[in-house]
Amino acid sequence: MEAAGKLINGVAFARQLRSEIRQEAENLHAVHGILPTLAVVMVGNDPASAVYVRNKIRATEQAGMRSVSHHLPAITSEAELLDLIATLNADETVHGILVQLPLPAQIDRDAVLDAISPAKDVDGFHIVNAGLLAVGRHDGFIPCTPMGCMMLLHSVLPELAGLHAVVVGCSNIVGRPMARLLQQAGCTVTVTHLQTRDVAAETRRADIVVVAAGHPGLVRGDWIKPGAVVIDVGINRAETPQGARIVGDVAFDEVAPHAAAITPVPGGVGPMTIACLLQNTLRAAQGLAG
Ligand SMILES: Nc1nc2c(c(=O)[nH]1)N[C@@H](CN(C=O)c1ccc(C(=O)N[C@@H](CCC(=O)O)C(=O)O)cc1)CN2
């Protein structure tokens, strides 16, 4: 068996990024009197969302920024949520707005995301920001998880041009923007999805495999070309004999021996999502994006 792949430490990377963001946020406040402010909106009581929202609020405050939190009941109507977003859009002290996903079934997610001012859309989900990224312009906001994946990839592969990347999953939050970013970095990109006949045949040809399928342990050891870099975006709750655990979309123990480098779950991409959210919030407060 080959040596285990190098572990890509998302916790350490995110810690460093957050400390740099804190310095810039303090500078913005001291020099320009601007206190970067993130509004976090959650609807309902999904337990995982509650944890992520709490972590985002804590990380925002630790980065020397302000957070304002709005927790609405699960029965909130779309109109009520749109009213809140209109208020936050008009509030000049709020620089970034985030609506935690998923939303309850009675609310149209796209209508809500497109109601956020693109200049405050620190999740990068607004159709304008998605469109800017799609045409190769990085002057909009880039979604946090793909941005974090790119940073981790660059930490082990400084030059991506010419490599073959396979993205497993094509959600608007991760797979699609990830494919755009990889292509714009010079990769040849294949995106696989539910209708792909043989996903393993695609990943076996890849130098880079990014998995965001929401399917625990989907990617097996023999799906990976020796020396490939593997980025696991999956966050799945699994019951094991040792109790409940968070596991990724990659069967880590099987894949790590084949990979040149691999992100663990937890401790890989997840912490980068929150660090990149802080980066986008800082950019929004600076009047910048991208
Ligand atoms: N408005 C948004 N909603 C959602 C997003 C998003 O980017 N914007 N992404 C996910 C959830 N998410 C952030 O919201 C998120 C998920 C996981 C982590 C994380 O740090 N995970 C840890 C493990 C945490 C655990 O034990 O549960 C890790 O991987 O190390 C951060 C953010 C859906 N909704």
Could you identify the atom of ligand 1 that is nearest to the CA of residue 269?
A: 29
Residue 151 makes CB contacts below 8 A (sequence gap 6+) with 13, 17, 272, 276
* Residue span of the structural domain in which 57 resides: 32-120
Cα 68 to averaged position of ligand 1 atoms, centre (Å):
19
| Count of beta carbons in the 10 Å neighbourhood of residue 159 | 9
Same domain (yes/no): 257, 193: yes
Alpha carbons 118 and 141: distance in angstroms, whole number: 8
Q: Is residue 129 a contact partner of residue 139, using CB atoms and an 8 Å limit?
A: no
In DSSP notation, 86-132 reads: HHHHH-TT--EEEE-SSPPTTS-HHHHHTTS-GGGBTT--SHHHHHH
Same domain (yes/no): 151, 258: yes
Same domain (yes/no): 163, 225: yes
Same domain (yes/no): 103, 193: no
Same domain (yes/no): 171, 250: yes
Catalytic amino acids? 56, 100, 123
Name the most confidently modeled range: 4-18, 103-117, 235-249: 103-117
Could you identify the atom of ligand 1 that is nearest to the CA of residue 99?
A: 1
Structural domain contains residue 114: yes
Percentage of the chain exceeding pLDDT 70: 97
Average pLDDT across the chain, whole number:
96
Q: Say what the pLDDT of residue 2 is.
A: 44
- Complex ipTM more than 0.90, yes or no: yes
Structural domain contains residue 42: yes
Closest residue by CA, ligand 1 atom 20: 270
Residue 287 makes CB contacts below 8 A (sequence gap 6+) with none
Q: Flag whether 208 is marked binding.
A: no
Structural domain contains residue 186: yes
Same domain (yes/no): 105, 42: yes
Structural domain contains residue 6: no
Structural domain contains residue 195: yes
In the chain, where does DSSP find H-type helix?
10-32, 47-62, 78-90, 109-113, 127-134, 144-156, 175-184, 199-203, 252-255, 269-286
Mean pLDDT for 49-65 is: 98
Q: Say what the pLDDT of residue 3 is.
A: 47
Mean pLDDT for 118-136 is: 97
Confidence of residue 148 (pLDDT cuts 50, 70, 90): very high
| Ramachandran angles phi, psi of 30, nearest 5° | -70, -45
Structural domain contains residue 106: yes
Closest residue by CA, ligand 1 atom 1: 100
Same domain (yes/no): 149, 261: yes
Q: Flag whether 171 is marked binding.
A: yes
Cα 233 to averaged position of ligand 1 atoms, centre (Å):
10
Same domain (yes/no): 164, 230: yes
Q: Say what the pLDDT of residue 290 is.
A: 46
Confidence of residue 138 (pLDDT cuts 50, 70, 90): confident
pLDDT per position as a tens digit, 212-270: 999 999 999 999 999 999 999 999 999 888 889 999 999 999 999 999 999 999 999 99
**Quick check: 72 pLDDT over 50?**
yes
Q: Say what the pLDDT of residue 53 is.
A: 98
Which CATH number goes with the domain that contains 236? 3.40.50.720
Q: What residues does 98 pair with on adjacent strands?
A: 40
Structural domain contains residue 125: no
Closest residue by CA, ligand 1 atom 23: 266
Q: Say what the pLDDT of residue 1 is.
A: 39
Same domain (yes/no): 178, 96: no
Which CATH number goes with the domain that contains 59? 3.40.50.10860
Alpha carbons 280 and 275: distance in angstroms, whole number: 9
Structural domain contains residue 109: yes
Sign of CA dihedral 170, 173, 174, 179: positive
Same domain (yes/no): 98, 179: no
Q: How many domains does the chain have?
A: 2
Q: How far is CA 258 from CA 160, 225, 228, in A?
A: 19, 7, 7
Cα 156 to averaged position of ligand 1 atoms, centre (Å):
23
Q: Say if pTM beats, i.e. exceeds, 0.80.
A: yes
Alpha carbons 30 and 36: distance in angstroms, whole number: 12
Same domain (yes/no): 169, 249: yes
Identify the CA nearest to 19 among candidates 269, 264, 279.
279
Q: Flag whether 169 is marked binding.
A: yes
Indicate the residue type of 193: H
Same domain (yes/no): 233, 154: yes
Q: Say what the pLDDT of residue 50 is.
A: 97
